[in-house]
C-alpha cells in the first residue's frame, strides 16, 4: 500500500497555543470578558484559575506569528468546557464562550487562512466530562437515561464528585471528572465521526488526537481517517502517542504522532547532565541520562528507521508542550542547551512545533507552571527570538531542510554532524555540545558539493582543495552551525 500524507505538513512550522494563556484581546469583542474575576496576566498560573486569553487575542497576534515564520497553529482544546485547559469537553459543537465562541473561531480561521496559516484542533474523543450533556443525563436519571450505553457504567449509584465512594464508571486515568466513552457503541462511534467531519467541513486543517491509544475498538481510527480524508484528503491527523507508534503509523490511521522519540534524545544530548531531574523523572518520555554524540546518533538513526519516510516527513516534532516542563527550565536555565536543541529541531525531518513562548525565553516547570501566560514584550529574550526567526527562515529557504534525506557524517565525543540532501542541494549541520571548542575533520565522500557558506553560527569551514572529500570544521564551545550554498 502506498502511504499518502498531507504535503503541506512537510513544509509547515507549527506553533502550539494554549488559548487561555497566549493572548487576551486588547479590545474585548465579547461581553463575557467584561468584569470577570480573572487571574492577573503576569501572575504564576494555578490549576483552576483563568487568565482570559481568547481567540480574538490570537487574531491580533497573527501578524507576529507570520513574521516569526509560522504557517500552522495547533490549538489545545477550544470547545466549551469547565477547565482552563478545556480537556473536560461539555459541547463539541460550541467554542468556549470565554474564548469568543463560534463567531470568534470562524473569524480566526478566515484570518489565518488569508495568511496561509493552517489550523489544527485538539480532538478529545476518548472521554468527555461530567458536564457533557449526555453524561449529565445519566447522573440525573441513572439507569433510566437513554444515554447509559454511551459510557462505561459499572454499577449504581454513580458518584461523580464524592471521592469517598466508588465512581462506578470508567474514567480516564481514574479521574472521575473525565468519563470515558463506550466506543463499542455504534451511536457513540457515529457521534464522534460526525464531530470530526463537521469541523473539517467548516475549514479546519486537521485534528490532533488526545490519548488515541486509549480507544481500543477495532477499526475506529481507520474509519476516522476515511471519514476525515473523504472530506479533505489534505487534512492532517496526528496522534498523541509518546512511544513507539508503528501500530498507528501504517498509513491507515494517523499521518504522524507527537514525536517524543525525537524530543527525549535531543534534550539528553544538548542539555546532558544539566537536566533538572525533578521536572522529567515522572514523565512518560525520558530526556536522560546524558547522551554523547554517538549515543544520540544511534537514537536518531533508530528513529529514522522506525517509520516509512512519507510518515517521517509528517511527524510533529517538539521540544516541549503543555504536558511537559519547558526546555529552558529542564535545562537549568542553560540557554546554550535551548539553542542547540532548537537548531536540531528545525533541521530534522518532519514538522517542527514551537510551544508558545519558548521563542521568547518563557520558563516553566511542570504543570501548571509550564502553562504560564505569554510574556509582555519588555520581558522577551530578544536573542532567543532572533535565532528562532533565523532558523525558521532557513528552513523555509532550503527545501533540503524540509524534505531532504538525513545522513550522519560524524558522531564522536560531543560533536555531531549530519547532512540534509535533496538533489544537488546539500546542507550540513554541526553541533558541538562540549564546553570546549572542537576542531574536527569530517569525511564526506558521498557529498556532491563542497558547501562552505556558514548560514548560521560562527563556525569555520574549509575543504582544503577542490577535490578534497574531507571537511575541516572549527566549532566554538556549546555552539552549532548550518553550512550550505548561499542563495
Q: What is the CATH number of the domain that holds 219?
A: 3.20.20.80
Q: How far apart are CA 91 and CA 372, in angstroms?
A: 26
Residue with C-alpha cell 467548516? 202
Strand-pair partners of 184: none
Q: Is 132 among the domain residues?
A: no
Q: How many residues belong to the chain? A: 487
* pLDDT, tens digit (0-9, with 9 covering 90-100), for 83-123: 999 999 999 999 999 999 999 999 999 999 999 999 999 99
Q: How far apart are CA 112 and CA 62, in angstroms?
A: 7
Q: Is 255 among the domain residues?
A: yes
Q: Mean per-residue pLDDT for 177-205?
A: 98
Q: How far apart are CA 189 and CA 224, in angstroms?
A: 9
pLDDT of residue 445: 86
Q: Mean per-residue pLDDT for 162-184?
A: 97
* pLDDT, tens digit (0-9, with 9 covering 90-100), for 388-447: 999 999 999 999 999 999 999 999 999 999 999 999 999 999 999 999 999 999 998 889
Instruction: Point out the domain boundary residue: 334, 362, 397.
Output: 397
- Residue 289: is it exposed, middle or buried by C-beta count within 10 angstroms (0-12/13-18/19+)? exposed
Please list the active-site residues.
210, 240
Distances from the Cα of 90 to the Cαs of 236, 295, 336, 419, in angstroms?
A: 24, 46, 43, 48
Strand-pair partners of 405: 421
Q: How far apart are CA 352 and CA 26, in angstroms?
A: 29
Same structural domain for residues 98 and 233?
yes
Strand-pair partners of 473: 440, 461
Same structural domain for residues 332 and 283?
yes
Same structural domain for residues 330 and 410?
no
Q: Is 136 among the domain residues?
A: no
Q: Which helix (H) or strand (E) holds 354?
A: strand 351-355
Are 88 and 177 contacting, i.e. CB atoms less than 8 angstroms apart? yes
* pLDDT, tens digit (0-9, with 9 covering 90-100), for 51-73: 999 999 999 999 999 999 999 99
Q: Mean per-residue pLDDT for 247-258?
A: 98
The angle subtended at Cα 118 by Cα 116 and Cα 122, nearest 5°, is: 165
pLDDT of residue 31: 59
Instruction: Give 446 or 334, the one with higher predicted confidence.
Output: 334
pLDDT of residue 78: 98
Q: Mean per-residue pLDDT for 143-161?
A: 98
Question: The C-alpha cell of 122 is what?
Answer: 485538539
Q: Mean per-residue pLDDT for 474-485?
A: 96
Same structural domain for residues 419 and 299?
no
Q: What is the CATH number of the domain that holds 451?
A: 2.60.40.1180
**CB neighbours (10 Å) of residue 115?**
12
* pLDDT, tens digit (0-9, with 9 covering 90-100), for 278-297: 999 988 899 999 999 999 99
Same structural domain for residues 392 and 412?
no
Which domain range does residue 190 map to? 7-126+181-397
Question: The C-alpha cell of 43 is what?
Answer: 501572575
pLDDT of residue 408: 98
pLDDT of residue 34: 66
Report CA Rg, the chain.
Answer: 23
pLDDT of residue 28: 64
Same structural domain for residues 329 and 427?
no
Question: The C-alpha cell of 412 is what?
Answer: 564522536
Question: Which residues are CB-contacts of 334 (< 8 A; sequence separation ≥ 6)?
Answer: 271, 274
Chain mean pLDDT for the chain: 96
Question: The C-alpha cell of 405 is what?
Answer: 534525506
Asked if pLDDT for residue 30 goes beyond 90, the answer is no
Asked if pLDDT for residue 179 goes beyond 90, the answer is yes
Q: Is 20 among the domain residues?
A: yes
Q: How far apart are CA 468 and CA 447, in angstroms?
A: 11
Q: How far apart are CA 252 and CA 273, in angstroms?
A: 40
Q: Is 143 among the domain residues?
A: no
DSSP 377-444: GGG--HHHHHHHHHHHHHHHH-THHHHSEEEEEEEETTEEEEEEEETTEEEEEEEE-SSS-EEEEEE-
Same structural domain for residues 76 and 193?
yes
Model confidence band, residue 35 (pLDDT cutoffs 50, 70, 90): confident
The angle subtended at Cα 86 by Cα 84 and Cα 87, nearest 5°, is: 130
pLDDT of residue 32: 61
Q: Is 175 among the domain residues?
A: no
DSSP 321-366: -TTS--HHHHTTT-HHHHHHHHHHHTTSSSEEEEETTGGGT----S
Q: How far apart are CA 445 and CA 460, in angstroms?
A: 20
Same structural domain for residues 289 and 387?
yes
Q: How far apart are CA 291 and CA 267, in angstroms?
A: 9
Q: Is 133 among the domain residues?
A: no
Strand-pair partners of 15: 73, 354
Q: How far apart are CA 290 and CA 440, in angstroms?
A: 22
Same structural domain for residues 319 and 421?
no
Residue with C-alpha cell 489534505? 234
Q: How many domains does the chain have?
A: 2
Tell me the three state secondary structure of residue 113.
Answer: helix
Same structural domain for residues 376 and 452?
no
Q: Is 151 among the domain residues?
A: no
Model confidence band, residue 353 (pLDDT cutoffs 50, 70, 90): very high
Asked if pLDDT for residue 365 goes beyond 80, the answer is yes
Instruction: Point out the domain boundary residue: 344, 371, 397.
Output: 397
Model confidence band, residue 27 (pLDDT cutoffs 50, 70, 90): confident
* Phi, psi at 458, each rounded to 5°: -125, 35
Same structural domain for residues 427 and 338?
no
pLDDT of residue 33: 61
Instruction: Point out the domain boundary residue: 375, 397, 419.
Output: 397
Question: The C-alpha cell of 333 is what?
Answer: 536555565
Same structural domain for residues 360 and 430?
no
Q: Mean per-residue pLDDT for 181-196?
A: 98
Q: Which helix (H) or strand (E) holds 470?
A: strand 470-475
Share of the chain above pLDDT 90, in %: 93
Distances from the Cα of 354 to the Cαs of 14, 17, 73, in angstroms?
A: 6, 9, 9
Share of the chain above pLDDT 70, in %: 99
Are 18 and 52 contacting, i.e. CB atoms less than 8 angstroms apart? no
Question: What pTM was estimated for this model as a whole?
Answer: 0.97
Asked if pLDDT for residue 249 goes beyond 90, the answer is yes
Amino acid at each position: 500500500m502506498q502511504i499518502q500524507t498531507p504535503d503541506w505538513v512537510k513544509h509547515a512550522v507549527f506553533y502550539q497555543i494554549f488559548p487561555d494563556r497566549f493572548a487576551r484581546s486588547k479590545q474585548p469583542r465579547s461581553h463575557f470578558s467584561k468584569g470577570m474575576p480573572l487571574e492577573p496576566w503576569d501572575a504564576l498560573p494555578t490549576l483552576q484559575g483563568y487568565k482570559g486569553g481568547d481567540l480574538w487575542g490570537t487574531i491580533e497576534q497573527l501578524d507576529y506569528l507570520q513574521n516569526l515564520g509560522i504557517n500552522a497553529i495547533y490549538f489545545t482544546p477550544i470547545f466549551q468546557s469547565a477547565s482552563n485547559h478545556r480537556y473536560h469537553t461539555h459541547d463539541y459543537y460550541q467554542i468556549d464562550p470565554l474564548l469568543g465562541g463560534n463567531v470568534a473561531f470562524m473569524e480566526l480561521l478566515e484570518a489565518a487562512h488569508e495568511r496561509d496559516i493552517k489550523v489544527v484542533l485538539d480532538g478529545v474523543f476518548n472521554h468527555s466530562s461530567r458536564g457533557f450533556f449526555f453524561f449529565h443525563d445519566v447522573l440525573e436519571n441513572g439507569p433510566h437515561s437513554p444515554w447509559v450505553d454511551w459510557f462505561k457504567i459499572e454499577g449504581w449509584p454513580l458518584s461523580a464528585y464524592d471521592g469517598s465512594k466508588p465512581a462506578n464508571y470508567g474514567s480516564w486515568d481514574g479521574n472521575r471528572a473525565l468519563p470515558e466513552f463506550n466506543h463499542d457503541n455504534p451511536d457513540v462511534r457515529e457521534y464522534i465521526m460526525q464531530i470530526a467531519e463537521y469541523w473539517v467541513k467548516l475549514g479546519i486543517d486537521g485534528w490532533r488526537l488526545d490519548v488515541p491509544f486509549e480507544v481500543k475498538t477495532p477499526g475506529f481510527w481507520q474509519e476516522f481517517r476515511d471519514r476525515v480524508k473523504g472530506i479533505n484528503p489534505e487534512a492532517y491527523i496526528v496522534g498523541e502517542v509518546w512511544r513507539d507508534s508503528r501500530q498507528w503509523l501504517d498509513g491507515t490511521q494517523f499521518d504522524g504522532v507527537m514525536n517524543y522519540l525525537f524530543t527525549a534524545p535531543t534534550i539528553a544530548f544538548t542539555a546532558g547532565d544539566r537536566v533538572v531531574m525533578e521536572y522529567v523523572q515522572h514523565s512518560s518520555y525520558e530526556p536522560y541520562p546524558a547522551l554523547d554524540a554517538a549515543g544520540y546518533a544511534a537514537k536518531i538513526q533508530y528513529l529514522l528507521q522506525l517509520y516509512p519516510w512519507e510518515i517521517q516527513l509528517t511527524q510533529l516534532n517538539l521540544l516541549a508542550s503543555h504536558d511537559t516542563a519547558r526546555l529552558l527550565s529542564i535545562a537549568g536555565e542553560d540557554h546554550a542547551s535551548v539553542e542547540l536543541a532548537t537548531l536540531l529541531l528545525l533541521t530534522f525531518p518532519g514538522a517542527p512545533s514551537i510551544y508558545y513562548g519558548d521563542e521568547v525565553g518563557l520558563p516553566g516547570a511542570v504543570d501548571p507552571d509550564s502553562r504560564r501566560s505569554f510574556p509582555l514584550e519588555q520581558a522577551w529574550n530578544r536573542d532567543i527570538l532572533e535565532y528562532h526567526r533565523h532558523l525558521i527562515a532557513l528552513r523555509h529557504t532550503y527545501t533540503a531542510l524540509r524534505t531532504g534525506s538525513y545522513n550522519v557524517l560524524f558522531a564522536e565525543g560531543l560533536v555531531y554532524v549530519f547532512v540534509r540532501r535533496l538533489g544537488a542541494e546539500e546542507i550540513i549541520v554541526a553541533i558541538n555540545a562540549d564546553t570546549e571548542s572542537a576542531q574536527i575533520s569530517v569525511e564526506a565522500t558521498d557529498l556532491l558539493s563542497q558547501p562552505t557558506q556558514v548560514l548560521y553560527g560562527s563556525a569555520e569551514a574549509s575543504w582544503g582543495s577542490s577535490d578534497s572529500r574531507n571537511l575541516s570544521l572549527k566549532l566554538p564551545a556549546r555552539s552549532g552551525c548550518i553550512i550550505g550554498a548561499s542563495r
